[in-house]
Chains A and B, each alone.
Chain A
Amino acid sequence: MTVSEVADLIRSTLENHMPSPLRVIGQVSNLSNHKHWYFSLKDEQAVVSCVAWVSAARSFGFVPAEGDEVVATGHVTHYGPQGRTQFYVSRLEPVGAGALELKFRAMCDELRRLGYFDAQHKKPMPVFPRRIAVITSAGGAAVHDVISTAAQRCRAVGLLIVDVRVQGDGAAEQVAAAIRRIDADARRLGIDAILVTRGGGSVEDLWAFNERVVADAVHECRLPLLAAIGHESDTTVIELVADVRAATPTQAVMRLIPSADELTGQLDHLDRRLRLLVRRHVERHRQRLDTAARSALLRDPGALVQQARERIATLAGRLGRATAVHVRRRRERIEALGRQLTAVDPHGVLARGYSYTTTESGALVASVKDVSDGDRIVTRLRDGSIDSVVKVPRMDLFDADR
């Protein structure tokens, strides 16, 4: 293997297996900062040589003195031409702030794991809160912004200023206790939302709002809670756990309290809509009434009677005609039957010269066998009858074998 190959292997091994970015805490020594910075970071047992390119060094915002504790962020690599393994620093912070930031990150990681930042816990802000609890320092700058902004937005929303320490010893505990107390008594106090706020300050000043007690109180709070801590560029734990975060106290109030002017505009709109709707509704009913009034019936009630009368007359006419036809048909039928009856009347036959004969008892004599010698018979003719006595009834020969 050549030297270059070894150097490449070292470099790629470092780049592939060292964490990046790497955060290192240590003391600064032998700083040379003419253009790029060359220095060492050391602790009791070891030394790491460091490089910061001028572009990165400009953003550090400070020049550490020999022996200062710093937190350096960057990556480690091997520089072949000089055979040196170096820590390339892209960010350098004095240890106070750096240490706090490490603590902040660790806290965020833990709370995230516990689900404190989950969107499912975020409660919506009330549309029109009756009263807001403002947890802040009564003597701070934030409270003035809150009160003056609230006055501009809507005076109908009440404010309950809960005075707490917002920095230093006991601040986190006071903030947490205030949140729990307001939340527990929200109904009696008529509180619909909580605003936790304070103005800008150093990382140390804002530190109370990164404490676990505050995070727990906010996480367990049932009221919608909005947090606005420091300036927009500052992020604190409470703002990540809160339901809503605002950049400044003023913006927080604007988010929480609706603008009375906007609401009045909205009411005016609803008012116009309501009037228009009712007017249209009434108009629709009036039109229906007009349509009804224009109908022939209501214009001339007599017409209805006339119509009924005409209808009755028509029906009467139909009834009369139908009855006459019926009677005529019946009469014709009876006459036909009469004619049929006349045709079969035996007396009609007698009139034409025929006659018939019966015995004395009235039985019809239709055959010579019906009578015997000496029987009395009666013969009926057109105009009377003849009594006779039978003398030798004689059977016709051509009838004999019937």
Chain B
Amino acid sequence: MAKPKPRSKTESMTYEQALGELESLIDRIEQGEIGLEESLNEYRRGADLLKRCRGILETAEQQIEELTADPDANL
């Protein structure tokens, strides 16, 4: 069995990264060619990814910053 790639921590993932991994993970389980234990690991990973995506969407306050057109101003 191929060694699974080391996976990045979900907390630092962007929404798109987490969603992308979640979709490919579901595809993998759907193919059905993984063992029972592996599928349970995948499920736990999937749940983490879902949590990350939901966490991003549930951000309570929009970050709004303002920048003046003064080219010398510090960004």
Contacts and interface: CB of A to CB of B under 8 A. Distances in A.
B69 interface: yes
B71 interface: yes
Contacts of A127: 16
A281 B36 contact: yes
A270 interface: yes
B59 A156 contact: yes
Interface residues of A, number: 43
Interface string A255-289: 00000100110010011011101100110110000
A274 B36 contact: no
Contact of A267 (B25, B39, B53, B59): B53
B66 A161 contact: yes
Interface in A132-172: 138, 147, 150-151, 154-165
A281 B39 contact: yes
Contacts of B53: 263, 267
Contacts, number: 103
- Chain B: interface size category: 35 or more
A278 B40 contact: yes
Contacts of B62: 147, 150-151, 155-159
Q: Is the interface of B mostly helix, strand, loop or mixed?
A: helix
Interface in B19-75: 19, 22-23, 25-26, 29-30, 32, 34, 36, 39-40, 42-43, 46-47, 50, 53-54, 56-69, 71, 75
A274 B29 contact: yes
Contacts of A181: 71, 75
B61 A155 contact: yes
A162 to B, nearest CB: 5
Given A128-B16, A155-B59, A273 B69 contact: no
A140 B26 CA distance: 46
Interface of A: 126-128, 130-131, 138, 147, 150-151, 154-165, 174, 177-178, 181, 185, 188-189, 260, 263-264, 267, 270-271, 273-275, 277-278, 281-282, 284-285
Given A163-B68, A274-B47, 12 more contacts: A127-B16, A138-B66, A156-B56, A156-B57, A158-B65, A159-B62, A161-B67, A174-B69, A185-B75, A263-B57, A264-B57, A267-B50
